[in-house]
């Protein structure tokens, strides 16, 4: 916790014509300390009624682990209309009893769109903005909320969570390459004249904004996945997503001759249950957004009460398997147990 106090990130917020500075350090640290976002507390009586109407066992302080999964067949097509019996869930190689399951496609989504505005994105940014605008118009439905963040030298919050599509469109088109300038809080995240603080952007978005949100949470990055100057590590960025049960998707874009890090994108996405789509040209950008949109609308929700009830704060590995061997589930690889 002491180390976290030295790496708090400030977001500069652009809302219409006004600019204000947020200092989410306290909130982020409180959220981080509460490592229970991967666990949803609810009365065991209610959960028991959902899983088995004939067994109204009442327990107290029971923690339900939620896992969001997308299933594809051998041809990479998404498979809808599966049942609880089609899934098996393991924690640290021990099979768990599924207590809650739904394929409800109307469950609200909380979405964070992160746009890389470092110098390497100069030539692609207008096309990315247009495609992102269409993506949000397509994917958002009543009850959904989205936010827009850009990152280069700074992590800039262009729009906080809202259902207002017009505000989101303005925020997307407000993104500018290296527009951040000097750090909002000089010295907090030191860097040189160039930087791409992708890890910081993931860390602060999950730890400060998504941590307090419920339900399905997703983070979509448009980037070449190169990071320069972040204070936090890639492992800490992954941990922030895992603690807040956030699925991270990458639209991996880059110009010929420019650097990119597909290995980093896959590392983050694999650990959080997301996908990486390599975009080779502008014309394929919208197709990539369409795939992510389909992914977001085709998730199964699986909940279980872990057989290991110890509140020890340890990382627990999760594996989701299908009873049908031709099917493959995409889900996060683990979570952090609550502590204390």
CATH class of 106-296: alpha beta
Which pLDDT tens digit goes with each residue over 170-217? 999 999 987 654 333 333 333 344 579 999 999 999 999 999 898 899
Per-domain boundaries in the chain: 39-104+302-336, 106-296
Take residue 310 and report the two structure tokens written for it.
Answer: 């110890």
CA distance 210 to 79: 28
The residue with greater pLDDT, 48 or 90, is 90
Task: List Cα–Cα distances, 268 to 273, 294, 333, in angstroms.
Answer: 9, 20, 10
CA distance 128 to 285: 7
CA distance 55 to 44: 11
Q: What is the pLDDT of residue 11?
A: 58
Q: What is the pLDDT of residue 96?
A: 98
Beta bridge partners of 100: 303
Task: List Cα–Cα distances, 112 to 7, 97, 216, in angstroms.
Answer: 21, 32, 11
**Size (the chain), residues:** 340
CA angle 236, 145, 225 (to 5 degrees): 35
Task: List Cα–Cα distances, 128 to 66, 176, 252, 268, 284, in angstroms.
Answer: 32, 12, 11, 21, 11
CB 150 within 8 A of CB 115: yes
Q: What is the pLDDT of residue 122?
A: 83
Write down the residue that tokens 């100057």 correspond to.
229
Q: What share of the chain is helix, strand, coil (3-state, %, to 5)?
A: 30, 30, 40
Take residue 230 and report the two structure tokens written for it.
Answer: 């972040």
The answer, yes or no, to whether residue 10 has pLDDT greater than 70, is no
CA distance 247 to 252: 16
Sheet of 18-22, strand order: 18-22, 11-15, 155-162, 145-151, 109-116, 216-223, 246-253, 276-279
Average pLDDT over residues 251-256: 82
Q: What is the pLDDT of residue 173?
A: 94
Average pLDDT over residues 113-140: 89
Q: What is the pLDDT of residue 20?
A: 34
Task: List Cα–Cα distances, 209 to 9, 48, 218, 244, in angstroms.
Answer: 12, 31, 12, 10
Take residue 122 and report the two structure tokens written for it.
Answer: 């100069």
> In this predicted structure, which of 37-51, 76-90, 233-247, 296-310 has the lowest mean pLDDT?
37-51
Q: How confident is the model at residue 285 (pLDDT cuts 50, 70, 90)?
A: confident
Whole-structure pTM value: 0.80
The answer, yes or no, to whether residue 44 has pLDDT greater than 90, is no
The residue with greater pLDDT, 132 or 25, is 132
Task: Give me the half-sphere count of Cα atoms (radius 13 Å) on the Cβ side of residue 336.
Answer: 20
Average pLDDT over residues 311-328: 96
> In this predicted structure, which of 201-205, 282-286, 292-296, 305-309 has the lowest mean pLDDT?
282-286
CB 249 within 8 A of CB 221: yes
The answer, yes or no, to whether residue 313 has pLDDT greater than 50, is yes
| HEC readout, 129-161 | HHHHHHHHHHHCCCCCEEEEEEECCCEEEEEEE
Q: What is the pLDDT of residue 56?
A: 37
CA distance 161 to 182: 25
Strands 109-116 and 216-223: parallel
The answer, yes or no, to whether residue 60 has pLDDT greater than 50, is no
CA distance 333 to 95: 14
| Terminal CA-CA length for the chain | 15
Q: How confident is the model at residue 63 (pLDDT cuts 50, 70, 90)?
A: confident
pLDDT > 90 in the chain, percent: 58
Q: What is the pLDDT of residue 182?
A: 38
CA distance 238 to 268: 6
Q: What is the pLDDT of residue 184?
A: 33
Q: What is the pLDDT of residue 255?
A: 73
Q: Which helix (H) or strand (E) holds 309?
A: none
């Amino acid at each position: 916790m002491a180390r976290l106090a030295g790496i708090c990130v400030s977001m500069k917020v652009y809302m219409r014509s006004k600019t204000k500075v947020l200092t989410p350090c306290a909130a982020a640290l409180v959220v981080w300390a509460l490592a229970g976002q991967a666990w949803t507390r609810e009365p065991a009586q209610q959960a028991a009624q959902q899983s088995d109407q004939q067994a109204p066992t009442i327990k107290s302080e029971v923690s339900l682990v939620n896992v969001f999964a997308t299933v594809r067949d051998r041809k990479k097509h998404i498979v809808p209309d599966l049942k609880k019996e089609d899934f098996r869930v393991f924690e640290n190689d021990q099979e768990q009893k599924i207590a809650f399951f739904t394929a409800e496609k109307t469950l609200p989504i909380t979405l964070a769109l992160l746009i890389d505005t470092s110098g390497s994105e100069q030539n692609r940014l207008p096309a990315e903005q247009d495609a992102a605008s269409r993506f949000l118009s397509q994917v958002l439905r009543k009850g959904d909320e989205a936010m827009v963040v850009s990152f280069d030298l700074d992590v800039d919050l262009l729009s906080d969570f809202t259902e207002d599509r017009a505000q989101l469109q303005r925020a997307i088109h407000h993104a500018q390459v290296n527009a951040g300038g000097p750090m909002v809080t000089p010295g907090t995240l030191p860097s040189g004249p160039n930087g791409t603080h992708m890890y910081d952007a993931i860390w602060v978005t999950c730890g400060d904004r998504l941590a307090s949100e419920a339900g399905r949470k997703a983070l979509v990055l448009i980037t070449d996945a190169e990071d320069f100057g972040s204070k936090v590590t890639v492992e800490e960025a992954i941990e922030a997503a895992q603690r807040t049960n956030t699925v991270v998707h990458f639209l991996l874009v880059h110009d010929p001759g420019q650097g990119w890090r597909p290995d980093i994108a896959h590392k983050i996405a694999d650990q959080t249950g997301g996908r990486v789509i390599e975009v080779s040209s502008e014309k394929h950008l919208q197709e990539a957004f369409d795939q992510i949109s389909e992914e977001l609308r085709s998730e199964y929700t699986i909940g279980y009460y872990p057989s290991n009830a110890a509140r020890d704060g340890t990382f627990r590995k999760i594996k989701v398997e299908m009873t049908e061997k031709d099917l493959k589930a995409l889900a996060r690889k683990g979570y952090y147990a609550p502590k204390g």
